[in-house]
Chain A
Amino acid sequence: MNARSEITEKYLQLYQANIGRIEKSSPAFINSFRSEAIQKFEQLGIPTRKNEAYRYTDLEIFFKHEFKNIFVPGKSDYLKAERFRCDITDLDAHGVVLVNGFYPSITEKMRQLPGGAWIGSLKEAFVRFKDIVENHYGKYAKSESDGLIHLNTAMASDGVFVYVPEGSNLDKPVQVVNIVDSEDDIFNQHRNLIVIGENAVFTVIICDHTLSPNKFLTNAVTEIYVGPHARFNIIRVQNEHNNACKITHTFIHQEKGSYASSNNITLHGGLVRNSTYHFLGGRGAETKSLGLFLTDKWQHIDNFVNVDHASPDCTSNQLFKGVLDDMATGAFNGRIYVAPDAQNTNAYQRNNNILLTEDAKMDTKPQLEIYADNVKCSHGATVGQLDEDALFYLQSRGIDQREAKLMLMFGFAHEVIQNIEVEPLRERIDSLVMQRLRGELSRCASCMVKCG
């Protein structure tokens, strides 16, 4: 056992100093997970590059920074969230804004949407949907190697809760906008729980934004239960500034015959790490894990995917793409695990990257562990430049080189975007990506909240 690092020690102390306050403002059930979680965190610590899953990503620079921590929000934090809530009315989605990880709670804390789904703060869910929360909270976010998941369980107290009852079909997606806005450098950890009943259909869009230029660190965990034969899409759109570090852990647990897709679109961000865990827990489930990132300057984007084929007759598809400019770096780590009795498994993985300069760098690593016999599995990774022949083809029709390059990059990116099933959103992301490629994407132009 290695001696705990100084940084890990710092976060243990942070826990000790604040746990009293955190527990006082949290439901008892959440609190019941904390002491075990902090022990796990103590063992595992803040991940370093010695951790195989974090080999290409150095978190130290962010975690050693002194942040202000808002474990229990004050009135002004809620007010800030309230202000934002009003602005999203023109988007064709049911909107929720979290400011610095907290659900606005001045007005209704839980509301019912057309189609029968409920959305509200996780804290409030313990009052209204006690059984549901207790059946699912803390069940899926598990890890024997990533201390950050346990740090979140130990200290998080709120986030978004969505419950989509059996057979419900929402007319519109739910959009959750995570805004980080503070005069101080802040560290925030929120925790979301989404429960989708049998045969229900649900799409959630999560937008990660930073509004003020301070240094921010976010460590968020989302647990999702997809009931039998339910359909679920999660689309994450990230647009944060170069001083922000965003770490997300998303756990999707699927029951038999269900379908789920996850799509991480990272338009901008200082350091981004998205871990997506897909657990195929019932026969005939299908899952898609997609991602696209566009980076430049000194940004670093890391996508980590774990697909666990625990049941037979399941299908999984991973497609991750990246465009790296300047001296940007990126990493992709895609694991496929096929359990011994998960026969008739189809599991595919592809990772394609374009480096626009000689200084950009991409690490890509497939990891396949297959213990069943009857499995169709493939993986492929490429890191390269724009296709010269395709570039010439466009130029030969009168399109200048700069525009031709943009078209090729856009086409490359579009292969991921075209999987977004919500058409207006697909078009919107297409146009955001085009703006990003043209260098026209400002914070406000990209922000779906349109508060500007």
Chain B
Amino acid sequence: MENFYGFFLDNLLIIYLLAFTVLLGFEIIAKVPTVLHTPLMSGSNAISGVVVIGAILLVRLTDPTDYLTLSLGFGGIILGMINAAGGFVVTDRMLEMFKKKKK
């Protein structure tokens, strides 16, 4: 339990960040109309590509002879980047269709 209290006190700022981001997320997204649920989902999907940042840092820190980790990281960057790039592009494609109908 001591361990837990210590963790809480050491990471107070990140815990605040977590709490506020969750609330902010709920608040923003609850306002999105039904019409836009699919683009919202694919757009937020693209945002979940943030994992690519972790993969980049991983590869940067890896010993160049550690091929196992390098390949893991290499694969990770590809996966995360497909998610991010593909997500934003397909969302843009969808939203373009919504836009041009405006009279």
**A and B part of one assembly:** no
